[in-house]
Amino acid sequence: MEQKKSSNVVWHNATVTRKRREEMNGHGGVILWFTGLSGAGKSSLAHAVEEELHKMHCHTFVLDGDNVRHGLCADLGFSAEDRIENIRRVGEMSKLFVEAGVIALTAFISPFRSDRERVRSLVPHGDFLEIYCHCPLDVCEQRDVKGLYKRARAGEIKDFTGISSPYEAPVDPELAIETGTLSIEDSVAKVMALLRERGIVRE
């Protein structure tokens, strides 16, 4: 655990507990952590799952890799150190959403296994569901929605995951989805099945 810079802080226990928030929401709080290469379909899947959950009147929020870099992590670059800090901040934010009884969906490359495990350690067992969006590098490059792979191959982008920086795939994720071949509808169905199996949501 990191040493706090100030010792003059005391945790204040709220009277409105997570359990009470979840009872009011009608579902559990959880982190759905979508990880995979750029172009693997993480954001598309996260938002599609949120749409499905919204129809069920669930309380949700998507934390997207690009979006948080416009605000919460606007001061960070893409060095290994900055990537670690980026995921640390998102992990702490996600933990707060879980305490609020919200289903937090995060779409981040999050290339380092240790960073994802650190986020997992922030919340009780079962509150972090790692969803590996597996898509072969060549398929991600063919998609190249943002033109990033082309620029990375040209040397215009340094430390680009999959090209000049490593991606450490999950060893034992709660769910692995072949997003290179599976339709978005079938991918959403797999995530929803996991949520029902874990008792996070009910019909």
What is the rounded CA–CA span in Å between residue 74 and residue 90?
12
Other residues' Cβ atoms within 10 Å of the Cβ of residue 130? 22
Do residues 103 and 30 touch, judged by C-beta distance below 8 A? yes
What is the rounded CA–CA span in Å between residue 202 and residue 171?
29
Amino acid, single-letter form, for residue 22:
E
Beta bridge pairs of residue 104 = 31, 61
CA 97 to chain centre: 12
**What are the structure tokens assigned to 165, written together?**
């920086």
Supply the residues annotated as catalytic.
110
